[in-house]
Amino acid sequence: MSSAPVATRSHASSRSASLPVAPWLLMAPFLFGVILFTLVPLLSSVHLSTRQTFGPEFSTNVGTGNFQFLASDPLFWTALRNTVIFTLGSVLIQLPLSLLLALALNRPNLRGRTFFRVSLFSPVLVGVVFVGMIFAVIFDKRTGLINRALHATIGWDIDFPWLESYIMPSLVIATTWQYVGFNMVYFLAALQNVSAELGEAAMLDGANAWNRFRHVILPAIMPVGTFVVLLSIIGSFQLFELPYILLNGTGGPQNRGLTLVMYLYQTGFQTGDLGYASAIGWVMALILGACAIGQRIISKRGERA
């Protein structure tokens, strides 16, 4: 059926008349899982977002009330601001670093690649709980590694209040530490699609390192690249556990460490209003949706090639 001329001509990449059943077979496990464990719960949360609840039997319809309140809820805006700051920070700092590392480690002639690769990846091996612990020690005011190191070297303020006034930067540093190697692995995998031949051709055409990156490597890793960007935007937006642990369950001073998901969690569980929580969740989803669409558009361009 999918090979009916009309159906496929409209299809940009019409490749073959593939049996209609095969695709669904291949996707069955995924669909099963996503429907059962995402869609179903999700629908109930859609319903929830128009209500104010406490548990199943206590729930009244507030229509768009949740969203209206959200708009005027200073906590929400703080959370949003923090989250966006964090997201920008980690996307703009972490990913470029990961890519650079991947490029460096992809050089065949680099000695000790394995060691570097393993070392750089190792932070992911540690559970977030311990990352919290470690960085509590690192960010401490008087005794923290950072402050002491910087104090010793550049006379930095030994009482610099990382986890009080500069929570988001601290979080960016911590997550970068943990995930720079992780994203590097994605990029390493992606770099395998770069055709050696094209690199050679580019050299002959007089392309310098940058141009080779720009015209040979980048296009080849674009699909995965955009994916990693999207993923870390989403990941950053859902930042929760690390601050939850670092700030033991609170939003930190003046809620400087309050993230959207943390707020969602607080309202949803700590004050038991799943309705309001769902509303927050949906606003998040909308924002991320926008990013996703953007990513699709970009990577579409890549796929044409």
> Are the beta carbons of 62 and 50 closer than 8 angstroms?
yes
Query: Where does 106-140 have alpha helices with state H?
Result: 113-121, 128-139
The correct pick among 80, 230, 242, 246 for binding other proteins (CB under 8 A) is 230
CB of 88 vs other proteins, minimal distance in Å: 18
Closest alpha carbon to 165 in 259, 247, 256, 81:
256
CB of 91 vs other proteins, minimal distance in Å: 15
Which CB sits closer to other proteins, 92 or 189? 189
Which CB sits closer to other proteins, 73 or 88? 73
Which CB sits closer to other proteins, 85 or 128? 128
The correct pick among 89, 182, 213, 217 for binding other proteins (CB under 8 A) is 182
Q: Quick check: 201 binds other proteins (CB under 8 A)?
A: yes
> Are the beta carbons of 90 and 176 closer than 8 angstroms?
yes
Q: Is 272 left (phi over 0), alpha (psi -120 to 50) or beta?
A: left
> Are the beta carbons of 66 and 208 closer than 8 angstroms?
no
Long-range contacts of 73-80 (CB under 8 A, 24+ apart): 75/255, 75/258, 75/263, 76/260, 76/263, 76/280, 78/251, 78/255, 78/258, 79/251, 79/255, 79/258, 79/259, 79/260, 79/262, 79/263, 80/260
Which CB sits closer to other proteins, 92 or 127? 127
Element (H, E) at 52: strand 51-54
Give the tokens for residue 258. 């309050």
Q: Quick check: 5 binds other proteins (CB under 8 A)?
A: yes
The correct pick among 86, 168, 186, 246 for binding other proteins (CB under 8 A) is 186
What does the angle CA 274 – CA 278 – CA 284 come to, to the nearest 5 degrees? Answer: 145
Q: Quick check: 289 binds other proteins (CB under 8 A)?
A: yes
The correct pick among 82, 90, 236, 278 for binding other proteins (CB under 8 A) is 278
Q: Quick check: 296 binds other proteins (CB under 8 A)?
A: yes
Q: Quick check: 60 binds other proteins (CB under 8 A)?
A: yes
User: Which residues between 102 and 141 bind other proteins (CB under 8 A)?
Assistant: 103-107, 109-110, 113-130, 133-138, 140-141
Q: Quick check: 96 binds other proteins (CB under 8 A)?
A: no
Q: Quick check: 93 binds other proteins (CB under 8 A)?
A: no
State the CB neighbour count (10 A cutoff) for residue 146. Answer: 17
Give the tokens for residue 168. 């988001």
Which CB sits closer to other proteins, 92 or 104? 104
Which CB sits closer to other proteins, 150 or 203? 203
Exposure of 58 by Cβ count < 10 A (0-12 exposed, 13-18 middle, 19+ buried)? exposed
Which CB sits closer to other proteins, 88 or 292? 292
CB of 52 vs other proteins, minimal distance in Å: 6
Rounded Cα–Cα distance for residues 218 and 221 (Å): 5
Q: Quick check: 242 binds other proteins (CB under 8 A)?
A: no
Q: Quick check: 57 binds other proteins (CB under 8 A)?
A: yes
CB of 82 vs other proteins, minimal distance in Å: 14
